[in-house]
Amino acid sequence: METVLRRRNVDYGRLVRREDLTFRSGGLNCAAWFYSPAAERPLPCVVLAHGFDGVREQRLDAYAQRFAAAGFAALVFDYRYFGSSDGTPRQLFSNEAQLDDWRAAIACARGREQVDPDAIALWGTSTSGGHVVQLAAEDQRIAAVVAQVPFADGLAQLFSLPISQGLRLLWAGLRDRIGALFGRSPLMIPAAGQPGTFAVISSPDALSGLAAITPPDSSWRNEVVARFTLTTSLYRPGRYAPRLGCPVLVCMADGDRLIAPKPALTIARSAPKGELRRYPFSHFGMYFGPGFDRAVADQAEFLRLHLLPQGRAEDEPEEPERPVLEALP
């Protein structure tokens, strides 16, 4: 199914199409949205996916719309086992599986006729902010990276948790893994909860932040399969930063109570072409309101600089307002 998007209130002189599509990863279908501004030549493309157990409709459409308004194609996808993508058991988180989904999404974007295959940028947030650093270090054709509030070091993240919470998460993961060996159903644990409760994320703004970015009809579920806790502390994508050949923009939230900050700073400092922007907002405050507006404007400018070296598109105003897009029947 394909829908045509047009802007209300703001006229950029460019129509944007959003197409629903799927691509294969690990033998399963991943669901994606592809945004393509009207253009006479192949365009740079930004590939986006959420962090941890997040799904597309949790504000990634807002980022894609902004990037499309700036003249980029955009591919936004759900990981296997989450959202509108295939895979069972549902809510099965795996860093390795998500990295494979990213590789398949990049290949999908490069295969689109509307896309310049040598002008692919990766945009990740939270856990996927670490994914994109590792992926770009592996794939020297990637042209630019945006890492927003990135998860860069699983070991540092584990040590940032209260000891009791970390031990309970590891114990749940062990019970789930042992149960799987005996054919039992996956052990589910809460993805987010109030401070002091048992959940993967229990920062003060976890539930309120997720409520702010999750629409009523979202496919997001507040639970994950527990076994990932046994391996995620070994995932340290920030170590790949010195190997990055492309520019990387790290967007940090100084009020972030969810992601350990020092490893994210290390990405910006150790990447040969690293840039850092800091914002006085919380982790979830980067997805909506002033935090979103400031971060996405910086990100779009960064992408224009490195993917559109000739400067601004001719039909783009000097200071564009926030685009408001409307799906047409």
Determine the Cα–Cα distance for residues 72 and 307; give it in Å rounded to an integer: 9
All structural domains of the chain, each given as residue ranges with its CATH number in brackets, are: 2-159+236-328 (3.40.50.1820)
Average pLDDT, the chain: 90
pLDDT digits (tens, 9 = 90+) for 221-279: 999 999 999 999 999 999 999 999 999 999 999 999 999 889 999 999 999 999 999 99
- pTM value? 0.89
Cβ atoms of residues 16 and 35 within 8 Å: yes
pLDDT digits (tens, 9 = 90+) for 240-252: 999 999 999 999 9
CA 204 to chain centroid: 22
Determine the Cα–Cα distance for residues 1 and 20; give it in Å rounded to an integer: 6
